[in-house]
């Protein structure tokens, strides 16, 4: 039996209401004398008295198993004073209710079959989402298991049974495994797995955000683009070269893409001590970026050699962008037709949107990625699943039934690990280490 646990469910900051959550096997008994519980799922006011404190609490009681964790759950709403919440938690601990680990409520929900592992992961992402798109993606995953998982199981299960029968009785009873039938069936499955893998690789960018650094010569239009993408005036913009000194960072969503943008000082040799310090800070930012947009004013005949030298180590992660295209005459020949050309001033940024979506989402729209696998754990397992099915498809025909039998078992096991049905503690630890207290 589990020990009862408690935790603040709201941030420990001065606020209107502070919520404490308790979960345990018999809370009516545990809280007896201190807190008479109200009727199930009906809010009740209770006067709580301890250590000279006298607090009125709104109390909710969800008897197990019809609760979040599957155990009895009690939620207390009190004044949102962090000290008060801590003192009340102290009182609960004196009753034998220990402080919960991060994610422990959800972990109990999982162990009691109230929730799946993938749902729990989605919940963690839902709580930490920073943009509208991230919220939508996490909500879609929290709602239900992706239907392709059940479909894959339904396809594998009969083959698993047949392969095992062939292993057990094959010799005596003349039961064989129709390997060509198996392969034909699995070929379709492999195609679906590849589609999901591709969706999940794109969804990973939506979930984690894309780090984009803006680089280029002074006055290339970095800060202007930074402000336009962020949708707010964060960076100073002037016609004076060397205006930006510190690296600025903003998290935003632009046309459905969650971005972490970094505005940098223009790359040039400079006598100005402060500007030079700014330039020195650019390198680590570039090193950590998923993509560097190298901004080159459209009127420049070619890119600045000094900037090219600074960007050389990051080859493969640099995208040249011609800026300030509004300044060009219609028939300007300095631009090659395949140049990516934008104007932040006139908000002519469609080419940039298309380039980013092609690169990170492989041209898939964010909406099409709803429900895709999005955590590293899930992606890794899906990758292993692909390998497993490819091994099956490569089996020589005929072969000993033990081979397909064990590979099918392996694939089945990977699906079980994906959904968390195998209840492996190591996977749970990995998932719940990212949770906040009280969830």
Ligand X SMILES: Nc1nc2c(ncn2[C@@H]2O[C@H](COP(=O)(O)OP(=O)(O)O)[C@@H](O)[C@H]2O)c(=O)[nH]1
How far is residue 23's CA from residue 57's CA, in Å, rounded to a whole number?
17
Residue 136 has, within 13 A of its CA and on its CB side, a CA count of: 14
Structure tokens at 133: 């798109």
**CB-nearer residue toward Mg ion: 76 or 298:** 298
CB of 244 to Mg ion, least distance (A): 3
Interface mask (CB under 6 A) for ligand X, residues 316-335, using x and -? -------xx-xx--------
10 sits near ligand X (criterion: CB under 6 A) = no
Give the DSSP letter of residue 69: S
Residue 239 binds which entry of Mg ion, ligand X, none, CB below 5-8 Å type-dependent = ligand X
Cis before 65? omega within 30: yes
CB of 273 to ligand X, least distance (A): 18
How far is residue 86's CA from residue 71's CA, in Å, rounded to a whole number?
23
For residue 171, how many other CB atoms are within 10 A of its CB?
10
Among 23, 137, 244, 419, binds Mg ion (CB under 5 A): 244
Task: Tell me the sheet residues that pair with 76.
Answer: 20, 59
CB of 235 to ligand X, least distance (A): 7
Q: Which stretch binds ligand X (CB under 6 A): 49-57, 65-73, 179-187, 337-345?
A: 337-345
Residue 221 binds which entry of ligand X, Mg ion, none, CB below 5-8 Å type-dependent = ligand X
Give φ, ψ of 238 to 5 degrees: -145, 170
Size of the site for Mg ion (CB under 5 A): 3
Residue with tokens 């930074």: 226
**CB-nearer residue toward ligand X: 327 or 367:** 327
270 sits near ligand X (criterion: CB under 6 A) = no
CB of 241 to ligand X, least distance (A): 6
243 sits near ligand X (criterion: CB under 6 A) = yes
**CB-nearer residue toward Mg ion: 124 or 322:** 322
CB of 255 to ligand X, least distance (A): 17
CB of 236 to ligand X, least distance (A): 7
Q: How far is CA 382 from CA 386, 399, 430, in A?
A: 6, 26, 17
Residue 137 binds which entry of Mg ion, ligand X, none, CB below 5-8 Å type-dependent = none
How far is residue 343's CA from residue 122's CA, in Å, rounded to a whole number?
38
Footprint (CB under 6 A) of ligand X, residues 192-231: 216, 218-224
266 sits near ligand X (criterion: CB under 6 A) = yes
DSSP three-state, residue 226: helix
For residue 156, how many other CB atoms are within 10 A of its CB?
22
CB of 342 to ligand X, least distance (A): 7
Q: For residue 372, give the H/E element and its range.
A: none
Quick one: 28 exposed, middle or buried, by C-beta within 10 A (0-12, 13-18, 19+)? Answer: middle
Residue 324 binds which entry of Mg ion, ligand X, none, CB below 5-8 Å type-dependent = ligand X
Structure tokens at 264: 């940098």
How far is residue 56's CA from residue 45's CA, in Å, rounded to a whole number?
7
Residue in 166, 148, 267 with CA at minimum distance from that of residue 215: 267
How far is residue 266's CA from residue 268's CA, in Å, rounded to a whole number?
6
CB of 219 to Mg ion, least distance (A): 8
**CB-nearer residue toward ligand X: 138 or 342:** 342
264 sits near ligand X (criterion: CB under 6 A) = no
223 sits near Mg ion (criterion: CB under 5 A) = yes
Residues near ligand X (CB under 6 A) are 216, 218-224, 237-239, 243-244, 266, 323-324, 326-327, 343-345
Residues near Mg ion (CB under 5 A) are 222-223, 244
């Amino acid at each position: 039996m589990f020990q009862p646990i408690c935790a603040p469910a709201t941030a420990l900051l001065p606020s209107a209401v502070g919520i404490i959550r308790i979960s345990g096997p018999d809370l009516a008994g545990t809280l007896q004398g201190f807190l008479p519980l109200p009727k199930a799922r009906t809010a009740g006011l209770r006067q709580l008295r301890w250590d000279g404190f006298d607090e009125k609490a709104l109390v909710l009681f969800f008897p197990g198993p019809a609760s979040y964790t599957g155990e009895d759950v009690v939620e207390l709403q009190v004044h949102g004073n962090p000290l008060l919440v801590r003192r009340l938690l102290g009182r609960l601990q004196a009753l034998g209710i220990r402080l919960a680990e991060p994610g422990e409520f959800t972990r109990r929900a999982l162990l009691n079959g109230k929730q799946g592992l993938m749902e729990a992961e989605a919940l963690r992402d839902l709580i930490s989402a920073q943009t509208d798109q991230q919220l939508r993606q996490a909500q879609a995953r929290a709602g239900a298991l992706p239907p392709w998982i059940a479909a894959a199981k339904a396809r594998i299960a009969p083959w698993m049974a047949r392969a095992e029968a062939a292993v057990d009785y094959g010799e005596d009873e003349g039961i064989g495994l129709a390997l060509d039938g198996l392969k034909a069936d699995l070929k379709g499955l492999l195609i679906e797995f590849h589609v999901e893998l591709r969706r999940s690789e794109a969804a990973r960018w939506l979930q984690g955000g894309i780090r984009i650094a803006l680089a280029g010569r002074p006055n290339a239009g970095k800060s202007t683009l930074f402000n336009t993408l962020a949708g707010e005036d964060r960076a100073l913009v002037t016609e004076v070269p060397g205006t930006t000194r510190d690296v600025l960072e903003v998290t935003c969503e632009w046309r459905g893409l969650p971005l972490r943008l970094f505005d940098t000082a223009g790359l040039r040799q400079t006598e100005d001590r402060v500007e030079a310090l700014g330039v020195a800070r650019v390198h680590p930012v570039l090193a950590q970026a998923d993509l560097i947009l190298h901004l080159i004013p459209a009127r420049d005949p070619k890119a600045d050699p000094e900037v090219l030298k600074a960007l050389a180590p990051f080859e493969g992660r640099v995208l040249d962008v011609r800026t300030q295209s509004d300044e060009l005459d219609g028939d300007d020949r300095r631009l090659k037709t395949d140049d990516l050309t934008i104007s932040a001033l006139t908000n002519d940024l469609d080419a940039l949107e298309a380039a980013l979506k092609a690169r990170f989402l492989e041209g898939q729209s964010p909406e099409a990625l709803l429900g895709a696998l999005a955590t590293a754990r899930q992606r890794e397992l899906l990758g292993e699943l692909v390998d497993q099915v490819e091994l099956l498809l490569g089996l020589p025909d005929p072969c000993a039934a033990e081979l397909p039998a064990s590979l099918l078992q392996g694939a089945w096991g990977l699906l079980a690990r994906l959904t968390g049905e195998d209840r492996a503690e190591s996977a749970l630890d990995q998932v719940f280490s990212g949770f906040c207290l009280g969830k």
